[in-house]
Every structure is written in C-alpha cells, then in structure tokens.
C-alpha cells in the first residue's frame, strides 16, 4: 500500500505540502523520525547521506547535521524543534540556509499511516526560489522513508 499525492498551494500561501500513505503503523513511522539512527538512514533526497552532530528531540531542542550530496557538496543544517506530540505531530523551524517551518502530521489510514508534510516559508521570495525543486526532493525523502519501513517489516 503506497498512496502518493503531492499538493502544492499557490506561492502566495508560501506552503509546499506533500502527503503519503505509508505501509506501517503510526508508532513505526513516528519512530523513524524520532530515532536519530533511523532518521539518518532516510533523511535527504536520493543519493544524499547525513552526518548528525546533535539531535535533541524535545521542544526547544536543536537538530544539527550535515547533508552530503552525491557530488561531494556538503550542506550544513540546523533546526529547532517547536512542538512534538508523540505519534501525531512534529514541528520544527529550519534556521540555516533556506528558512522555513516544517510540520509533520501522522494519522491512521487503514493499516498504514497518512503522513502530511507541510513546509511553510515566511518569505514569498524564498518560497518561490525553492518551490521548483523542493517538492521533488521531498518525494525522494518519502521514497527513502517508505523503503526503510518496508525493510524493517521484512
């Protein structure tokens, strides 16, 4: 079971939204976000890897890491967790590079989990700048998450 749908609102809204139904219960999907060892295995587009320097999964806590692109380029990242509701919602502010608020919402969908990922950009120009590549990169992230969850189930 894997339902892919992508919704991109107008750039005036400054939101990029991706939705995916994953073939795993909410507990496992949430754990793939909240456990840094699992998160490091799937976070980033296809061909990327991540080295985590810090992961304080608490409201106010920081997540710092470097994404390594397939061409050897490195991308330092820093985010601050705003809200964590176990198995329901994770909200963090990405404060380095492109700044945005990410919200992940988890809901039961049959035997699986519907994941809704919203990226809100406060600056319309910033949103317009990244909108052309972010939606596809997010889908690749979700593909990697789905593969990890499938591998865990086998």
Q: pLDDT confidence of 129, banded at 50, 70, 90?
A: confident
Note down the domain range covering 128.
3-153
Token pair for residue 20?
A: 């995916």
Q: pLDDT confidence of 7, banded at 50, 70, 90?
A: very low
Domain count, the chain: 1
Alpha helices in 4-123 (DSSP H): 26-34, 36-42
Q: What is the CATH number of the domain that holds 29?
A: 3.30.530.20
The pLDDT of 122-141, averaged and rounded, is: 89
Q: pLDDT confidence of 8, banded at 50, 70, 90?
A: very low
* Arithmetic mean of pLDDT over the chain: 91
Token pair for residue 11?
A: 């750039």
The pLDDT of 139-144, averaged and rounded, is: 96
Predicted confidence (pLDDT) per residue in 13-31, tens digit: 789 999 999 999 999 999 9
Q: pLDDT confidence of 6, banded at 50, 70, 90?
A: very low
Closest CA to 7 of 143, 134, 149, 141: 134
For residue 110, give every residue at least 6 positions away whose Cβ sits within 8 Å of its Cβ, in sequence order, or none.
1, 21
The pLDDT of 75-94, averaged and rounded, is: 98
Q: pTM value? A: 0.89
Q: pLDDT confidence of 126, banded at 50, 70, 90?
A: confident
**Cα distances (Å, whole numbers) of residue 5 to 37, 62, 74, 83, 112:** 27, 30, 30, 25, 15
């Amino acid at each position: 079971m894997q339902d892919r749908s992508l919704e991109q609102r107008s750039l005036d809204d400054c939101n990029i939204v991706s939705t995916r139904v994953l073939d795993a219960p909410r507990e496992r999907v949430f754990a793939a976000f909240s456990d840094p060892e699992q998160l490091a295995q799937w976070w980033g587009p296809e061909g990327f890897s991540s080295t985590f320097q810090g992961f304080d999964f608490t409201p106010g806590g920081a997540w710092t890491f470097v994404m390594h692109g397939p061409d050897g380029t490195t991308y330092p990242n820093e985010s601050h967790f705003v809200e964590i509701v176990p198995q329901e919602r994770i909200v963090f502010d990405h404060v380095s590079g492109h700044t945005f608020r990410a919200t992940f919402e988890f809901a039961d969908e049959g035997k699986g989990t519907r994941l809704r990922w919203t990226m809100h950009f406060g600056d319309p120009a910033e949103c317009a700048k990244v909108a052309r590549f972010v939606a596809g990169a997010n889908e690749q992230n979700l593909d990697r998450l789905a593969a990890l969850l499938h591998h865990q189930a086998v």
